[in-house]
Amino acid sequence: MTPERFTRLKQALLRRQHDLTVLADGVHKDHNISAILRSCDAVGVPRIHAVSPGGEVRRHHMVAGGSKRWVDIELHETTEEAYTQFRNSGMRLLAAHAAPDALDFREIDFTRPTAIVLGSELTGPTPYAIEHADASISVPMHGLVESLNVSVAAAVVLFEAQRQRAAAGLYSRPPPDRDAFDRTLFEWSYPDIARRCRQLDRAYPELNDDGELKRNPFDES
């Protein structure tokens, strides 16, 4: 671990937006999941959610390239289950859906805690997701096609959220949970050592300012 690499990891983790996320509601194609994960990492979204009763999304996540290390994924059996969790955590739910009453996504205040709900390219979010969302949003289209690929739509909306949050200074906020921050930073920096520590039920060793281990966690002396 070089000091430069450690600084890069630390700065990326400091910019994570824990109150911004995506719910993939029936999105199962591996290339779409992979592209959504990459966009989330680029914007600083630490975790996405997916309705995937059969575990398809988890299998795609395991082959989603480098982004699988930086963006976690939480699976839900049903849309109702996911919505309940979001409501309990104070998240606003926005369904990306080209409905007549859908709002232009650029009119939305993305500095608020928000979950962006995306459905499959063919059918969009499920009827439950649309009916129980706080609002529907859409990307204005001026050509002949009716919709964007779901991963492209995710990127467009997420980067608008990034623009607004950067202007509001939200990428400069301190981490909401310092202990969780330190754990994640160690796991990013030393994934093999972290895995071994968990197997042995040992605490992660502290790191110095350059990312070096302050002690050997496996030293029995």
DSSP of 145-202: -S---HHHHHHHHHHHHHHHHHHTTGGGSPPS-HHHHHHHHHHHH-HHHHHHHHHTT-
Half-sphere exposure of 103 (CA within 13 A, CB side): 12
| Angle formed at CA 14 by CA 10 and CA 16, multiple of 5 degrees | 120
Q: Where in the chain is the domain with CATH 3.40.1280.10?
A: 17-171
Residue 61 has pLDDT above 60, yes or no: no
Query: Which is more confident, 10 or 125?
Result: 10
* Residue located via tokens 């790191």: 207
Residue among 27, 28, 37 nearest 64 (CA) = 37
Mean pLDDT of the region 110-122: 90
Cα distances from 198 to residues 26, 192, 218, in angstroms, run 33, 10, 12
- Across the chain, what does the average pLDDT equal? 88
Structure confidence at residue 115 as a pLDDT band (50, 70, 90): very high
Structural class in CATH, domain 17-171:
alpha beta
pLDDT in tens, 90-104: 999 999 988 888 999
Spatial neighbors of 81 by CB under 8 A, at least 6 apart, are none
The separation between CA 186 and the C-alpha centre of its own chain, rounded to angstroms, equals: 19
